[in-house]
A and B are shown apart, each in its own frame.
Chain A
Amino acid sequence: MKEATRSDRFSRRDVLKYASIGGVAIGAGAWLPALPALAKGEIRGATVASMKDPLSAAIEAFQAASPGSSVRMEFGDTDPIVTTTRVQLTSGTAPDLITVWPGGGNALAVRQLVPNNFLVDLSDRPWAKDVPHGFDAVMMVDGKQWFLSMQLSMIGGIVNMRTWEKLGVSQAKTWSEFLDMCQKIKDQGVVPIALGNGTGFVPQLISFALVASNVFGRNPAFAEEMLEGKRTFSDSPWKEALEKYAELNKRGFFNENAQGTSNQEQIDMVATGKAAMMIMVSNQIPGVRKAAGHDDFWQMPIPGTDNPDETRISASPSSGFGVNAAAKDKETALAFLDFMASPEGVSRWANSSGLATVLPGSTGKFDYIYKDMYPLLRDGKSVPHQDNKWPNTRVQQTHTAGVQELLNGTTTVEAVLKQMDEAFVSKS
């Protein structure tokens, strides 16, 4: 065996040298931003197709930053995701990452899942404290955080700026101005509002946009009063909101065959300039931009009353990601959520989705689209989407079917509201 020579052994000078290098490294590390702990496991999840682009970007970055890790995500329409995941949860075969909706009006809403112990408590994650408290009512259950929502869903008029400039109309600040604006657009041969009520989630959006001002602009505690049984749909300004919805239809401000038009056709109409706007969730803006081939879009608040001070927008966190309590590799699932929720992750999401984010950190590349929505958010003039605070999913379906029948002229506002009241108190 070769005897160790002086050059093979550490001298005191070497020890001091390496110790000082190590010290500098540790010291420098203390000044670097804390990186989320990464794991090397394999996780799977299922979520809605509208999140495919930003989520794919996040997965790619996570896998690159954490070699050996793997995130397999399946994408689908909302209905199949909800029903399939629900069955998987009860049979113990649900994926590690579960798509969770805020509030309680959906079969995978946080208030439906938490009481059955399907989710991991995320309150101690580093990003949990950064979730704006304005969303606590629809995101938190028992004072704890259960899911990470990456993007905001705001309802407003999505306008193609290139069409708008040709039309030469100005933004409406009151309901009367809004009607006048639609009439001027119609007079120029352009459809004022594209409506795709043939797709299940669309009929409710104009109601939500109008109710935000008509109901909550006047009584911010309306949702809580309904849950306490003090108010009903029938005896509230919901009636006024649905009458205004019907008025838009009666005056021909929607495209023909709105009840049989799909959401994709609605998007195409706005993208191609056949329609001036669509009253829609902001999540659809990337799709419109893609269909149009340009980024010149803008989302404007819909004034529901003739008092501009009462104008509110409907805004909620979008569906997000919870960790299955029965997940095999919770560590990797949590690491992935932490990675997405880091400032870099939030920026990446904002830039790849083109949407406003729930957590701070967006670089603001697409902020110009929401320039009229952000002030209302900032000033507390936003209310959660109505279904977030409904006690069951039957109310939403009743409302959707009721709106379709109302616009087809086969029912009345009073009958729709009565059915919604019945659905609200039904057990499910």
Chain B
Amino acid sequence: MIDLAHKDRPESGIMSVVSTGAAFSGGRRLAASLQRPGLSWWFITPALALFVFVLAAPMLQGVGFAFTNWNGLDRSYELVGLRNFGRIAGDRQVISAIGTTLILAGALVVSKMVIGLALALALNTAIKTRNLLRMIVFMPVVLTPVITSYVWKYIFSTEGAVNRIADALGIGFLHQGWLGNPRLALLCVIIVTAWQSVGLAMVIFLAGLQAVPQELVEASTIDGASGWQRLRLIILPLLAPAITVNVVLALVQGLKFFDQIYVLTAGGPGYATETLSTIIYKTSFYYGEFGYGSAIALVFAVIVGGLVFGATHLLRRREFAHG
């Protein structure tokens, strides 16, 4: 028996669910008590407490450490004001790492957009093996990054698959130290991170492509539009929300990569693949400069936040422009 009282309060989803059971005694009283002001806070308190103790408090504590000289071991530390931030400005390794981080993030965004979209378009057709191919492309996403990175490390080694294939194909001039060469090491890292992430981009694009009205595509084909024109003028504008999601995810992912870099090169050779993530790890936990490491992490968070906010804002405007 449905309580018709909910008609007066159509905005209340909880109430309608609760009222559905109003056949039992006291149902109305319960419904009324749930309307008491402040009661909803009791429902969110467990989640809020978890959020505060697991996320918010440690984050704020980390922000506080950025203004200290704590070494991660001492029970005491001193407040040093903005000295850690001043040091960042003159730290060549950190400045270089910011550049490398941005290159890595940019390359990941581009590769995910281009390769992810190309794969999605290719696998959005009626070929019989499309589901199998989709699964194969998506598989790296669910594999553990550390394990796959060790495999790639072997593939890029002197006697690894890349050099062996180059030798076998008679292009031995490509036989070289991929991870030991400062000019190639970052490229290798980009290849590995892109390989592991394009599957997710493909799935998001595939979902977007399902929503593209086929009648529009067919109509434009009848009107004589070329494949490129269909892609540029119909499909891409309708994929705008998927592009926004992919760009933001790729940006966040590219900025905070750690596992793959640490396993493949540990930031080397020299400082060639050192990113902000690896610098923060080494500074805090290896050099024992927890305060300084926290300051770099804070700067890192501001960079990530700024870029993500900027990208989201820009892409949202583009979405609205395309209706």
Contact = CB atoms under 8 A, between A and B. Distances in A.
Main secondary structure of the interface of A (DSSP, over half): helix
7 contacts: A82-B286, A87-B285, A90-B73, A260-B185, A397-B287, A408-B182, A410-B270
Contacts of B270: 401-402, 404-405, 408, 410-411
Given A265-B159, A394-B287, A411-B270, 12 more contacts: A86-B73, A90-B72, A198-B265, A257-B180, A260-B178, A260-B185, A265-B157, A402-B270, A404-B269, A405-B182, A405-B271, A408-B180
B287 A260 contact: no
B185 to A, nearest CB: 8
A14 B198 CA distance: 89
Interface in B287-306: 287-289
Interface of B: 69, 71-75, 153, 156-159, 176-182, 185, 265-271, 281-282, 285-289
A116 B282 contact: no
A402 B268 CA distance: 10
Interface in A51-106: 79, 82-83, 86-87, 89-90
Given A392-B288, A405-B269, A259 B181 contact: yes
Contacts of B158: 255-257, 260-261, 265
B316 to A, nearest CB: 40
A234 interface: no
Which of A256, A257, A402 lies at the interface centre, i.e. has the most chain B CB atoms within 10 A of its CB?
A257
A400 B75 CA distance: 30
Contacts of A265: 157-159
Q: Which 10 A-B pairs have the closest CB atoms?
A: A260-B180, A257-B177, A259-B180, A405-B270, A260-B177, A83-B285, A260-B179, A404-B269, A259-B269, A257-B158
A256 B177 CA distance: 8
Nearest to A407: B269
A118 B181 CA distance: 42
A408 B159 CA distance: 20
Residue among A82, A118, A258, A260 with the most chain B CB within 10 A? Answer: A260
A326 B265 CA distance: 36
Interface size class of A (residues with CB under 8 A): 35 or more
Contacts of B271: 401, 405
Contacts, number: 110
Nearest to B178: A260
Nearest to B153: A262
A410 B288 contact: no
A200 interface: yes
A244 B285 CA distance: 33
A197 interface: yes
Contacts of A394: 287, 289
A338 to B, nearest CB: 27
Interface string A388-421: 0000111001001110110010110000000000
Interface string A160-201: 000000000000000000000000000000000000011010
A427 interface: yes
Interface in A91-133: 107, 112-113, 116, 118
B285 A259 contact: no
A276 B270 CA distance: 27
Given A265-B159, A404-B268, A404-B269, A260 B288 contact: no
A107 B153 CA distance: 27
Nearest to A268: B159
Given A259-B269, A405-B270, A393 B182 contact: no
Contact of A428 (B176, B179, B281, B287): B287
A116 B286 contact: no
Which of B153, B158, B179 has most A Cβ within 10 Å? B158
